[in-house]
Each structure stands twice: as C-alpha cells, then as structure tokens.
Amino acid sequence: MRITPDSRGVRSIPFHALGAPCGVQFRCDDDKRSLQFVADALGWLGHFEAKFSRFRADSMVTRINEAAGKQWVEVDPEMEQMLDIGDAMHRLTAGLLDPAMLPLLRVWDWKKVHAALPDEETIREALDLCNWSEVERSPGKIRLPRKGMGLDFGGFGKEHAVDQIASIARQHGIEDLLVDLGRDIFAMGGNGLHPFWHVGIQDGIQTERCIGGLAVSNYAVCASGDYARRFEHKGVRYGHILDRRTGWPVCHGLRAVTVLAPTCLVAGIYSTCVFVLGRREGMQFVQNAPGVEACLQDEQGISGTEHFSKHQVKAA
C-alpha cells in the first residue's frame, strides 16, 4: 500500500467508521512512517468502535445494556475512562447531557419511519429510565439497576476518538494533520499552503452551502444542528438531538451551532449543549468557558462569541 502525497505534500485517507464518512489528511515526508501512522490510527479506531458502539451485538456497551436490572458487568480500564468522561460531561452540563439517554433515543429513533409521534406516556416512561445518577459503579464494574436502562456514548464517543487519533499522530512525529470523523474535526499545523487548515461552516438552513470558513490550527471544530440526522412528520422536522428536560427533540429556533475548542471532546460537548439550551442560555453557557468560541445560527441570522470571528476566513 502506498499513500501518495499531493503537490502540497498532503496524504489523504478517506474511510467509513462510527456510522459516518471520515477522513484523515496529514503531511509526512516518510512513506514508512506514514503507513505506520495510518495502520495504528485505523487499528485503534476499529478496536474503539468494536468495544463502545451500542450497535455492535458483541460490544462491551451492549453487554452492559443487556444486563440492565440484573447483574454487575466487569469493565476494563478503557471502559472506565469512557464512563469517567460521561460522568464529567453529565456534571459539566448539569445533567443536560446524559450518557444514560438510550431509552429516549430509542423512542425518537430518527432512522425509523414514524407513522405517529410517540405519546406522552411513552416519553415519560423513557425519561424516567434516563438517569445517569442512578448508575452504580465500583472499581472494575458497573450496573444499570433498572430493566430498560441503557448507555449511549454518541454524545462524546466520536469526539474522544478524534482526539485520540491526533495523539497517535503526535506519537509518530506528525505535525500537520486534519482528522474528520463525521464532521467532528481536529486540526494541527497547516495544509502545506497555509499554517492552518480551512474548515467550512455549514449553513444550517441552506445545507448544501457554507456560510463561511475557519482557519484552524491546534483547535477542534464541532457542529450541532437538526439539518443532518432527522425525520419529518406532517411537514415538521424532528432532529436527533433531544432535550433531557422535556423528552422531545430540540425545537426552539436554533438551526446550527459551530464550536471551536482546544479538544474535540470539549467542542462536541459544548456544541450539543448550546444547541439544546438555545440562543440566549447557550450563549451564556459558552461565554463562561475558557478557550471555547461559538457561532449560532437561526432564521433571524448568525451571531458569535467575542473571539469567534478571529478564526474566520472568507468562504472558498
């Protein structure tokens, strides 16, 4: 296998993982080191998906969910780390983002054709089971105490994976890198023409275009909105991002949120949380976060935090 660099010295690897189109672009003048990095990165990602995807019948997450209301499940240090991340996310967002949201996600599965919307009783029953604070943990093991409970790492799993691939690149001495796992992005160094990578800001209304671009280096970019993963019922759009407070898909006017942060994990948590909170509360939340900048779009227009514009460039 040979990964041929382009005229800028950029090697590009497109692939599909974690249910999304992905890609890695990087600059490295050593063929052997390039191949080893790609092998290590994709090997790690395959292992990660096999262990933490709830869509895999033999994953550790599936074993935990199937044991809900029954026995304890032994977990390894990697799972302990993911559970710790989920716990930190839950505390940072005051429970707005909950790793135990699987029952509600199943009710609102955006991949299904919904002949009718879920009734309030079904939503309430699912919400009652979505409670991270009830999850029981002990060193090396975990238990979901009630039948029907379930974990889902969709709110932070891809973002964590992006950061880990960037870490693997650093271990191989790679300084110029763009990791894109389903539009969860981290950039290091530059693209061979500039000391940065160009990342588009997708329009949440006219989704076939961008509303601008970002010059990104040593930053992550994550976007949240209702324009990609959604279903429609009687002409109304219902997105995949759910509000833990109501049990319903977010529907308050925001169409897209784009966040810049030092890590993809932080960017992803803030983009989702801001989207759930809405323009006023979301802006207040992100303005209190050091090193985090956001751009919010609704039908009335676009607004951003104080320093977001410093990263913007004209759309190509």
Q: Give the pLDDT confidence of 202-260 residue by residue, as tens digits.
A: 877 776 778 889 999 999 999 998 766 666 656 666 678 899 999 999 888 788 999 99
- Which domain does 208 fall in, by range? 196-313
Residue 241 and residue 265 in contact, taking contact as beta carbons nearer than 8 Å: no
The answer to whether residues 132 and 205 belong to one domain is no
Residue 44 lies in a domain: no
CATH number of the domain encompassing residue 116: 1.10.3980.10
Determine the Cα–Cα distance for residues 177 and 186; give it in Å rounded to an integer. 8
The answer to whether residues 126 and 200 belong to one domain is no
Among candidate residues 184, 182, 177, the one with its CA nearest the CA of residue 218: 177
CATH number of the domain encompassing residue 253: 3.10.520.10
Residue 11 lies in a domain: no
Around Cβ 282, how many Cβ atoms within 10 Å?
21
Residue 131 lies in a domain: yes
Question: Which region among 173-177, 183-187, 297-301 has the lowest average model confidence (pLDDT)?
Answer: 297-301
Residue 264 and residue 159 in contact, taking contact as beta carbons nearer than 8 Å: yes
The answer to whether residues 291 and 202 belong to one domain is yes
Of 117, 143, 169, which residue is a domain's last?
143
Q: 272 a known binding residue?
A: yes
Residue 103 lies in a domain: yes
Residue 262 lies in a domain: yes
| pTM summary value | 0.93
The answer to whether residues 138 and 235 belong to one domain is no
The answer to whether residues 202 and 308 belong to one domain is yes
The answer to whether residues 202 and 134 belong to one domain is no
Taking only the tens place, the pLDDT of each residue in 86-113 is 999 999 999 999 999 999 999 988 666 5
Residue 50 lies in a domain: no
Residue 209 lies in a domain: yes
98 CB-side CA count, 13 A:
25
Residue 316: is its pLDDT beyond 50? no
Number of domains comprising the chain:
2
Q: 192 a known binding residue?
A: no
